[in-house]
Structure 1
Amino acid sequence: MSRSRLIQTLAIMTILAIAISFIPLPYYISTPGKATVLAPMVEVEGTQDNQEGSFMLTTVRMGPANPFNYLFAQFQNYTNIYPEEQIRRDDQTDEEYEFYQLNLMEGSQEAAIQVAYENAGKPFEVEYNGIYVVSVVEGMGAEGVLEVADRIVKIDGNSFASSQEFIDYVEGMQAGDTIEVEFQRDGKTVTDTLELQTFENNPGKVGLGISLVDDKEIDPDPDVTILSEDIGGPSAGLMFSLQIYDMLTEGDLTKGYAIAGTGEIAVNGKVGPIGGIGQKIVAADNAKAEIFLAPNEEGAADSNYSVAVETAKDIGTDMKVVPVDTFEDALEFLQSLEERS
């Protein structure tokens, strides 16, 4: 084969490879992400970072599958393949998915602030503004009326203190019933009447066909700023609450250790399970973490903690995995640590 023919063949193969990489498959692939030190991401007015060690949040990398990464994933440890419908609805746009994930992170941060300030004995106020729409299901009553990022402020003239109260109100009704929805969009308030319908995938449930997150603001004293950039999801809540608490109180809660972890935090301090715990153990080990705080789920056999322990054993890490059900559990463990000399 002549040199020019060889170059031409290689060029065609390269173009074909690039073209194939853009062919979408109905799957998502997740791999271990990274462990990120929280101190540079959290600013509490009037305080300084005095930690000898560090608190770290852990992440997984998640993205759509193409023929190349799908094939590669078959041979990689701690790489998971999920059907697309397990990650997002068929009719959910990229905008809706991103908005939902970022709002989950924002809600998690607000809960973390509330938990940290309450346990540190610092004052804060909570202002509830309504409910954000984060997705709209095709064919349901909200389609064509409500949009992503609309803020619902009243239903049938009633205000609610949480999205759960709204859900409870609607669940007491039947398909065909109508409700008056007052919502805000682009600085304007709109009122419209919508019909409740039965969900196609859940015939026993009625609703408007929207997913919601609470829109509330925490006003703490001293002020706190969290610079989480584009990290989405609620799983960093526990670690944010520990970092903020440590900055509000005297001493060094890290005791000189590199401490990673994960878990959604509720305003009552309860630590909830998350996805990808095994991959987060790998990420923490790669970052040389010495301790990992894992949701215990009250000792359930298949808890995040049990999976974390199995993963730690499998990869041969010396990192200590600690079970936690509440913020207080994590705090008690950390306070019991001996200072690193």
Structure 2
Amino acid sequence: MKSKIFIGSSIVIALMMIAGIFFSLPYYVSKPGIAKELAPIIQVAGGTEEKGSYMLTTVRMGRANIYSYVEAKLFDYVELYPVEAILHETETQDEYNARQLHMMTGSKLNAIEVAYKKAGYPVEYEYKGVYIVQVVPDMPADGKLLAGDRITQVDGQEFSSSERFIEYVGKKKAGEQVELTITREDKTKTVKISVEPFKDDPKKIGIGISLVDDKEINVDPKVTVKTDEIGGPSAGLMFSLEIYDQLMEEDYTKGYKIAGTGTIDPTGMVGPIGGIDQKIVAADKAGAEIFFAPNEKGIKDSNYELAVKTARDIDSKMKIVPVDVIDDAINYLQKLPIE
């Protein structure tokens, strides 16, 4: 009898433990990710090699279960966020993932443009259409289009940007149809969709999608950036530095292990990101000696200030360097002694 009770109890406990893994809570949890060397994933044709290394830093983000919730309550640098703080209103997990991947794509394009122009090379763009990053529920596109679809034509016409697409569709009258040529999973098809007023803005006409440009950058020498499933825009600065260093004869790393974070726009401005304290932890574990942090023009509680505080709290020996523009990082590296 006792044996049966023991076995039954063990099964119940095992089922509860399994349920704890798969039962999602209304939170997302983030924790320190990795610091990944960029030289293996960024290749400029004929580019120079570096004695040191540049590293992007990541944060691990996922839907919280019972165990990760408890982990966030018990350990430093593991954070909980309500679902609404991560997902846009009505946004699905798939749409969030698509948005993150396309933000990474935009980050890579900006980084390439900044690095090549800084090194004195011409840059040209080829527009290929627009990507859908979100489909609004209960609007005409709902059920016909998906996040990740690429629209290449509207009514048989090509267009040069998401702004041009929105302008064209916005001139239609409610009830009229547009014919879209889309690519999904390497297959091309046409879809007819009516345009309707948006429920939250009846004066605005559309089909109910959010878009980002799909464009290809043309540079010589060619560059490849393989980021796999890494999402978000926060590696922009470090992408730019790796590409720029490979384009130049001088080795700006000078033998140092250099990590960092920050978005970058086409002018070279460096923007703030989330989770910089967790990225400091990741970079420190990877043995980084220098960490570039967005300075945000010196505002209170900037990324740089939080990075300095975190490095001090974990007793890191990393040098935390504030940057507002890519030139701040390059000028710092130029003055470094050779290790």
- The bucket for the TM-score relative to the shorter chain is 0.7 to 0.9
Could you tell me whether the CA contact under 8 Å between 2:107 and 2:233 is conserved in 1?
A: yes
Query: 1:256 aligns to what SS in structure 2?
Result: coil
Structure 2 length-normalised TM: 0.87
Q: Once the two structures are superposed, what CA deviation does each residue of 1:60-84 show, in whole Å capped at 9, x if it has no partner?
A: 0011111121122111111110111
C-alpha separation in 1, matches of 2:332 and 2:217:
27
Partner of 1:88: 87
Residue 162 of structure 2 corresponds to residue 128 of structure 1: no
Deviates more, 1:298-307 or 1:1-10: 1-10
* Corresponding residue for residue 291 of structure 1: 290
Partner of 1:113: 112
In structure 2, C-alpha distance between the alignment counterparts of 1:203 and 1:83, rounded to whole Å:
30
Q: Distance in 2 between matches of 1:226 and 1:133?
A: 22
TM-score after normalising by structure 1 = 0.87
Measured against aligned partners, the alpha-carbon deviations of 1:34-71 in whole angstroms (never above 9, x if no partner) come to: 1111111111112342x221100000001111112112
Provide the secondary structure at the position in 1 that maps to 2:74: coil
Could you tell me which amino acid in structure 1 is paired with residue 12 of structure 2? Answer: I
- State whether residues 175 and 194 of structure 2, in contact with CA within 8 Å, keep that contact through their aligned partners in structure 1: no
Match in the other structure for 1:184: 182
Please give the secondary structure, in 1, of the residue aligned with 2:195: strand
What is the CA–CA distance in structure 2 between the aligned matches of 1:229 and 1:110, rounded to whole Å? Answer: 15
AA in 2 matched with 1:280: K
C-alpha RMSD of matched pairs (Å): 3.0
1:268 is aligned to 2:233: no
Letter paired with 2:128: N
Are 2:195 and 2:205, in contact at CA under 8 Å, matched by a contact in 1? no
- Tell me, in whole angstroms, the C-alpha distance in 2 between the residues paired with 1:12 and 1:188: 50
Which moves more between the two structures, 309-318 or 287-296? Answer: 309-318
Q: For residues 203 and 195 of structure 1, do their structure 2 counterparts lie closer, same or farther at Cα, with a shift above 3 Å needed?
A: closer
Moved more, 188-197 or 220-229: 188-197
SS in 2 for 1:74: helix
**Residue matched to 1:24:** 24
Aligned residue-pair number: 336
Counterpart contact for 1:124–1:218, Cα < 8 Å: yes
Alignment partner of 1:36 is 2:36: yes
Q: Distance in 2 between matches of 1:12 and 1:275?
A: 40
Q: Which runs of 5+ in 1 are unaligned?
A: none
1:314 is matched with: 313
Distance 2:40 2:131 in 1: 29
Distance (Å, rounded) in 2 between the aligned partners of 1:179 and 1:309: 55
Letter in 2 for 1:219: N
Percent of aligned pairs with the same residue?
Answer: 51
Instruction: Provide closer, same or farther for how the CA distance between residues 178 and 32 of structure 1 changes in structure 2, counting only shifts above 3 A.
Output: farther
2:335 aligned partner: 336
CA distance in structure 1 between the aligned counterparts of 2:165 and 2:308, rounded to whole angstroms: 39
Name the stretch that deviates more: 177-186 or 260-269: 177-186
Q: How far apart, in 2, do the equivalents of 1:171 and 1:194 lie?
A: 8
Identify if the C-alpha distance between structure 1 residues 177 and 297 changes in structure 2 by more than 3 Å, giving closer, same or farther. Answer: farther
1:196 aligns with 2:197: yes
Shift of 1:173: 8.2
Which one-letter code corresponds to 1:126 in the other structure?
Answer: Y
CA 1:312–1:166 in structure 2 vs 1: closer, same or farther (change >3 Å)? farther
Q: Look up the match of 1:230.
A: 229
Shift of 1:233: 1.1
Q: What SS does the aligned partner of 1:123 have?
A: coil
Aligned to 1:99: 98
Distance in 2, Cα, partners of 1:299 & 1:178 = 51
Distance 1:137 1:46, change over 3 A: same
User: Residue deviations 1:195-239, cap 9 Å, x none?
Assistant: 23143xx89987653222210001211111112121111111110
**1:9 aligned to 2:16?**
no
Secondary structure, aligned partner of 2:40: helix
**C-alpha spacing 1:277/1:166, structure 2 compared with 1 (3 Å):** farther
Compare 88-97 and 110-119 and name the one that shifted more. Answer: 88-97
**Contact preservation (8 Å) 1:175, 1:196:** no
Checking the alignment, whether the CA contact within 8 Å between 1:32 and 1:60 is kept in structure 2 is: yes
From the superposition, tell whether residues 177 and 298 of structure 1 become closer, same or farther in structure 2 (CA, over 3 Å): farther
- Closer, same or farther: CA 267–178 of 1 in aligned 2, 3 Å: farther
Alpha-carbon shift at residue 146 of structure 1 (Å): 3.4
Q: Secondary structure at the match of 1:102?
A: helix
Aligned to 1:254: 253
